[in-house]
Amino acid sequence: MTETTLDPNRVVASFDSASVLHAATVAALEQRAFPNLGSSTIKGVGVRAAGQLPWPILRQIYTRIGGAEGINPDDLGRVNLAAVAARFADAYPHRQYPAVFIGASNGALTHLAAALQVPWLPQTVLIPVHRLGDPQRPDQALDFGRRVAPGLLTANPDVGLHQMHDSAQDELMTSRMTYFRTKWLDLPEAYAHFLGTYLAPGAPVFLVNDQSRWPVVRVGERHVFQSGGRGGLTPEQYLALPHTPQADDDAPEAEWERLRIRSLNYAKPIFGGWLA
């Protein structure tokens, strides 16, 4: 990692589903508790205390604390997602494993991985990018992403960018940041090294895929823009909102679905089985 590369610990949002579920899996494999979603006891107490405040005050606190995680858009060319993948892989105890999961985030899968005592390596991570804007103007968020994304994509040719703007579920956050959800298109070198070193001979590699699709605006070969997300309104309801760019394509859902990995080459040529 060069001096100009951002610290991988600063790149991925602390509230990202993938990073939290990954940290929970690591804790399970290390046989330790995972209180407060991996946050400190002090932070956990602070969150519970803040929950007693009036909503207008709490709204400002959540917005400012969450928005403070956004990285400067001028620094996107310094993001090294290979280093992020290495951090995920290196977090697990260095021992032989009878299987490994790779792909989409899933809470139930985290419990299964914990029960089986096997690792899960995420394919999608959230990079929060600082931006002050109207959460009800996804068209402006799209224009912003179109301007600043090339630096990230040029520096990381092995990822696809799914920019996500959810004006319903993430109204507070999208007023101070843009969600850049990145998906590895090829097996990261750090993941390949992990499999070749710590996966038992003949052990299966399970590919986890949610198979959700979502209408998107195709910005570039490796860049799409998604209005809304699972758990809130339907795609059609999001697209009917004012100032929402109309979709011209569909793609894997930004947060949850796994993209098809172009290459799964690694040091050991024998696999015990697959789950697509």
pLDDT at 31 over 60: yes
273 band by pLDDT with thresholds 50, 70 and 90: very low
CA angle, 176 as apex, 175 and 179 as ends, to 5°? 90
Domain membership of residue 3 (yes or no) is no
Q: Look up the domain containing 121 and give its range.
A: 8-252
What is the arithmetic mean of pLDDT over 40-67? 60
Domain membership of residue 120 (yes or no) is yes
Counting the structural domains of the chain, the total is 1
Per-residue HEC secondary structure of 186-224 comes to: CCCHHHHHHHHHHECCCCCEEEECCCCEEEEEEEECCEE
The pLDDT tens digits of the residues spanning 155-200 come to: 999 999 999 999 999 888 899 999 999 999 999 999 999 999 999 9
Higher-confidence position of 65 and 15: 15
pTM for the whole structure: 0.87
Query: For the packed helices 17-29 and 107-116, what is the interaxial angle rounded to 10 degrees?
Result: 20
The pLDDT tens digits of the residues spanning 196-255 come to: 999 999 999 999 988 889 999 999 999 999 999 998 799 999 999 999 999 999 999 999
57 band by pLDDT with thresholds 50, 70 and 90: low
Domain membership of residue 156 (yes or no) is yes
- pLDDT of res. 210: 82
- pLDDT of res. 1: 46
Q: At 30, which amino acid appears?
A: E
Domain membership of residue 141 (yes or no) is yes
pLDDT at 153 over 90: yes
Domain membership of residue 1 (yes or no) is no
Domain membership of residue 105 (yes or no) is yes
The torsion angles phi and psi of 145, rounded to 5 degrees, stand at -60, -35
Domain membership of residue 260 (yes or no) is no
Domain membership of residue 80 (yes or no) is yes
